[in-house]
Amino acid sequence: MMREPMRGRTAIQRGAVFVAVGLLLYGGVFAASESLVYRHALRNRFYAVKNARPEPYDYVILGASHALPLDFADTNSKVEQATGARIINLAMPGAGIVPNRLVLEYFLAKRRTRAVVYVLDSFIVTSRQWNEERLTDVKLMHRAPFDPALARLMVSYALRGLINPLVPLNYITGLPKVNNADRFKPDMHEMEGKYDRVYRPSEREARKRVEYLYPKQLSEDVIAGYIGMFAELSSFLRARSVPLIVVKLPVPAYYAALLPREDELTRRLMSVLDGDVPFYDLTRVGNDERFFFDTDHLNRDGVRNLLDARLVAILREHLAPATAPDGP
């Protein structure tokens, strides 16, 4: 009669040992993956925040992939030299309002900025894919170093239904880092390798791109909800005395003509912001086809032209007086 309880205890003990060994092994793999993040991370936005310089920044840049070329190669440092501003680019490919708000909150919990530049695209208000679901893309977590502050923020977002619960689960367990087959490769978006390319326009590819970004049927309820979130982002910044600047970057005319309800959505997005939020529509500024490396992203010459034509002047205009450079 005594053997049955003893056998039960033995099975439990063996199970506990098995679990403990498994946890130790996984802990070792997790630690190794974490160390590789610090050796190879470069463009990951959560890494950028965790390792940001302690002194205040002048501008945080938010947005989706149209803002990425402003950080390709040495472009960000050149913009800093031209403007005298300290700039950190936290834009992410395909990022709507929700992921931008999350990375901004994470940044402001650790650092300060004198202003936020939001590079606006209308597709960000059309689908959950670019908002609540966007951070389920494990590529965005491959080089994200563990930080309890970010873990808490992600959990709070998940509890409020703002992001998929898989996001904090993936981040806390580190599975995307452990399973990252590209852990030794440079941490750069594939688009950066095309930065010096001149694209040959293709209406077929442009249509495919637009079909990818926008759902077939636009839901008015979905659009209204995300426009409301954009207003909340503006209020969030205003409550912290951080000015917001909204910019639309150049796209080719043939591409812009394919965007559904573009002018209407842009107008509605801007209408919910306070009247003193500056808005610069640079869609047609330097949008020659030779200035793009694909259907809608600026190449190096396109960025250089944009900076010379308008963007450097805009950043200088809104630069805090204490950091504004001398000269024209």
Q: What is the pLDDT of residues 105-146, one digit of tens each?
A: 999 999 999 999 999 999 999 999 999 999 999 999 989 999
Residue 141 belongs to domain with CATH number: 3.40.50.1110
Query: Is the pLDDT at 324 greater than 90, yes or no?
Result: no
Residue 262 within a domain? yes
Q: Are 65 and 191 in contact (CB under 8 A)?
A: yes
Q: What is the mean pLDDT of residues 282-310?
A: 98
Average pLDDT, the chain: 90
Residue 36 within a domain? no
pLDDT at 104: 99
Residue 323 within a domain? no
Residue 36's CB: how many other CB atoms inside 10 A? 16
Query: Is the pLDDT at 24 greater than 70, yes or no?
Result: no
pLDDT at 31: 63
pLDDT at 36: 63
Which residues of the chain form beta strands (DSSP E)?
A: 59-63, 87-89, 116-119, 244-248, 279-281
pLDDT at 16: 62
Q: Are 256 and 128 in contact (CB under 8 A)?
A: no
Query: Is the pLDDT at 327 greater than 80, yes or no?
Result: no
- What CA dihedral angle connects 193, 82, 44 and 183, to 10 degrees? 50
How much of the chain, in percent, has pLDDT values that exceed 90? 77
Distance CA 89, CA 100 (A): 11
Q: 186 versus 224: which is more confidently predicted?
A: 224
Residue 327 within a domain? no
Confidence of residue 328 (pLDDT cuts 50, 70, 90): very low
Q: Pull the structure tokens for residue 316.
A: 């200088």
Q: Where in the sequence is the domain holding 277, given as residue range(s)? A: 41-317
pLDDT at 146: 95
Pairing of β 59-63 and β 87-89? parallel
Query: Is the pLDDT at 237 greater than 90, yes or no?
Result: yes
| Cα separations in angstroms, 146 against 161, 169, 224 | 22, 12, 34
Residue 160 within a domain? yes
pLDDT at 204: 97
Query: Is the pLDDT at 170 greater than 50, yes or no?
Result: yes
Q: Name the CA radius of gyration of the chain, rounded.
A: 23
What is the count of structural domains for the chain?
Answer: 1
Q: What is the mean pLDDT of residues 38-54?
A: 87
Residue 324 within a domain? no
Q: Are 115 and 61 in contact (CB under 8 A)?
A: no
Q: Pull the structure tokens for residue 200.
A: 């040959």
Confidence of residue 3 (pLDDT cuts 50, 70, 90): low
Residue 8 within a domain? no
Query: Is the pLDDT at 40 greater than 90, yes or no?
Result: no
Q: What is the mean pLDDT of residues 52-78?
A: 97
Query: Is the pLDDT at 23 greater than 60, yes or no?
Result: no
Confidence of residue 179 (pLDDT cuts 50, 70, 90): confident
Residue 11 within a domain? no
Check: pTM over 0.85? Answer yes or no: yes
Confidence of residue 203 (pLDDT cuts 50, 70, 90): very high
pLDDT in tens, 238-250: 999 999 999 999 9
